[in-house]
Amino acid sequence: PNWLEFVRKKMPIKNLPQNLVGKTLMQISDIHIGNRFDYTYIIDSFKRAQNLNPDFVVYTGDYVSYDNQEQFKQLKEVLRFSVKGKIATIGILGNHDYGKNWKETNVSNKISDLLKQSGVTVLRNEQKEYSGLNFIGLDDYWGTNFNPEPIMSQYNDKIANLVLCHNPDVCDLDVWNNYKRWVLAGHTHGGQVKPPFLPPFMIPVKNKKYASGEIDLEDGRTLYINRALGHLWQVRFNVRPE
């Protein structure tokens, strides 16, 4: 569960300005701060990640495993060590950031505020451009604020774009408006347990091909599903935290 892997991939983006060619973007997903595992592991992982000095950092949701308001204090403690990008640091929310049954809007608002206080720009069905790269952040599919159509109808196809979307099942919805670039997601944890030569036993998505890693959606979009840094429960087999 603590055998962290830094996965490195080439990430060509259409219309990327020359000043961003060769820059580094780091994705961090699903840290799940709470009482289910010792989250000093997350702090230690953040310290290791800081040494890579990324240009952009994106957080793709599930900052807590929410039981009660204690998680706000715990998350604030961890965010003191959060990894920041030299150019920008952007985040979106996941389903666990909406509290119990993914319906507690006050929980999502509080987590969003804590992220902003720590220097993370939170996009909730919004977009923001940094140095010629436009980030489109969708709110969580299962949460109370999911509304991707307006922002996906507004994006400028003539510039470099990148979508952040916690739940990869959103890729199968009719909301994409001919978008043909990368989608960075999390949510699945790669299943956390994967027997050799078999698929993961349990991944929380309708489309079971959305487990982990890079997936060509065969329509111009490339999906990347991060295996999660944290855990719902501290059990991993053949699926290293990423």
> Does 197 score more than 90 pLDDT?
no
- What's the mean pLDDT in 30-35? 97
Confidence of residue 165 (pLDDT cuts 50, 70, 90): very high
Confidence of residue 202 (pLDDT cuts 50, 70, 90): confident
Question: What local confidence, expressed as pLDDT, does residue 148 receive?
Answer: 98
Question: What local confidence, expressed as pLDDT, does residue 187 receive?
Answer: 98
How far is Cα 92 from Cα 176, in angstroms, rounded to an integer? 18
Question: What local confidence, expressed as pLDDT, does residue 32 receive?
Answer: 98
The 10 Å Cβ neighbour count of residue 42 is 24
- What's the mean pLDDT in 43-68? 98
Q: Which residues contact 180 (CB under 8 A, 6 or more apart)?
A: 14, 219, 220, 221
Residue from 25, 16, 60 nearest 184 by CA: 60
- What's the mean pLDDT in 57-84? 98
- What's the mean pLDDT in 224-237? 94
Question: Crossing angle, helix 70-79 and helix 105-117, to 10 degrees?
Answer: 20
- Distance linking the first and last C-alpha atoms of the chain: 10
What digits encode the pLDDT tens for the residues 103-122? 999 999 999 999 999 999 99
Mean pLDDT for all residues in the chain: 96
- What's the mean pLDDT in 53-59? 98
Confidence of residue 216 (pLDDT cuts 50, 70, 90): very high
- What burial class does residue 232 get, using C-beta atoms within 10 Å of its C-beta: 0-12 exposed, 13-18 middle, 19+ buried? middle
CA distances from 65 to 30, 32, 60, 68 (A): 9, 5, 15, 9
Question: What local confidence, expressed as pLDDT, does residue 201 receive?
Answer: 76
pTM, two decimals, is 0.97
> Does 200 score more than 90 pLDDT?
no
